[in-house]
Amino acid sequence: MIQLYIPLNFLGVIYREIKQSLTDLNRMFTLMDKEREVADDPDAQPLQIGNPPPEVRFENVQFAYDPSRPILHDVSFTIPAGRTVAVVGPSGSGKSTLARLLFRFYDVQGGHVRIAGQDIRNVTQSSVRHAVGIVPQDTVLFNDTVEYNIAYGQPGASREQVEAAAKAARIHDFIVATPQGYETRVGERGLKLSGGEKQRVAIARTLLKNPPILIFDEATSALDSANERAIQNELRSAAQGKTSLVIAHRLSTVVEAHEILVMDAGRIIERGRHEDLLAAGGRYASMWNMQLNQPESEALAD
Ligand code: ATP
């Protein structure tokens, strides 16, 4: 029996390895597909950001993933240097698409996305990605050490710099309590982290990268209130002095934003500061009232 068990067990290990490799390959091809979405002009120059942080501007942006289905219709807004604009709206209204365009995952089909006055289609993609940091809702961690996952934001960073970023993102104490500390392997084949812990690794990665423009995609998943408040504080301190676009699900984020954009079906249907939108008694006001009645919910987005 044992003779049969060992080869079967071995086959199981091989099967899992192959399956994992295929998952990794799939992910790689998805990323490569994304890379192919935009191409630099042969004479494209790097983005010039004189005095950071820069202004970000969307001008009459039109965009479709598939030409038969327009997604964004004539979207215009400005994030003044160092300010935060929050975007709210129902699922599928185009919020994350704004973030992808600002990171230049895709090029717009009409209008312009400008950073410091330069159309990001005319500058190198790598310089745009260098200037923009994203804290996504669901961070994918590499099957590598915690240190590697944080330092990915800034290749060549020293252990001291990684630890400083982890402390600022309040994940350091958690890391040093794991069996191998910063050498602990995480990801699908290593230590599994909770949604909140993964987001803190992403915040540490972004703090280390220290880009002048930040994009936050706030988690909709139910974090407990204490954890949520802590992450909010971390995001707020990370955004100090940076130009930020926040896909917002939390009241505290929108209340403080320089401007709130309410999206619906790819259009900005309301915009303004929190008090003005409340006073207007439109869609934002009803989303706000709904969330007030569900204090632990994520009703602002949905
Ligand atoms: P959520 O709050 O659920 O994240 P969202 O407001 O961020 O939604 P987007 O992710 O921007 O919405 O999606 C806007 C529309 O674009 C949706 O109808 C979605 O199905 C479509 N879409 C998003 N990504 C792609 C893609 N890669 N290819 C084709 N269509 C897409």
The ipTM assigned to this model is 0.97
Which among 85, 73, 76, 71 has a CA at the least distance from the CA of 57?
A: 76
Question: Is the minimum distance from the CB of 93 to ligand 1 under 6 angstroms?
Answer: yes
> Of residues 293 and 35, which shows the higher confidence score?
293
> Does the beta carbon of 293 lie inside 6 Å of ligand 1?
no
Residue scoring higher pLDDT (80 or 228)? 80
Residue 12: alpha-carbon gap to chain centroid: 36
Give me ligand 1 centre to Cα 182, in Å.
35
Q: Is the pLDDT of residue 108 over 70?
A: yes
Probe residue for ligand 1, chosen from 96, 106, 109, 287 as the CB with the greatest number of ligand atoms within 8 Å: 96
Q: Position of tokens 């997604």? A: 71
Ligand 1 neighbour 71 (Cβ under 6 A) = yes
CA–centroid distance, 201 to ligand 1, in Å, is 25
Among 71, 100, 134, residue to substitute to test ligand 1 (most atoms within 8 Å of Cβ): 71
How far is Cα of residue 162 from the mean position of the Cα atoms in its chain? Answer: 20
- From residue 229, alpha-carbon distances to 116, 182, 234, 250 in Å are 32, 25, 9, 10
Closest-CA residue, ligand 1 atom 9, reads 94
C-alpha span between 298 and 278 (Å, rounded):
18
* CA-to-CA separations, 258 to 79, 211, 274, 276, in angstroms, rounded: 8, 20, 9, 12
The 10s digit of each residue's pLDDT in 9-52 is: 555 555 555 445 444 544 544 554 455 578 898 889 999 998 88
What was the pLDDT predicted at 235? 75
Cβ–ligand 1 distance for 100 under 6 Å, the answer: no
**Average pLDDT value for residue range 171-189:** 91
Under the banding of pLDDT at 50, 70 and 90, the label for residue 136 is confident
Q: What is the DSSP letter of 117?
A: T
Name the residue among 214, 254, 295, 236 with its Cα closest to residue 89: 254
Q: Which residues 6+ apart lie within 8 Å of 100 measured at CB?
A: 106
List the single range of 36-40, 66-70, 272-276, 292-296 with lowest mean pLDDT: 292-296
pTM, two decimal places: 0.82
Tell me the C-alpha to C-alpha distance, in Å, between residue 278 and each of 248, 281, 298.
Answer: 16, 5, 18
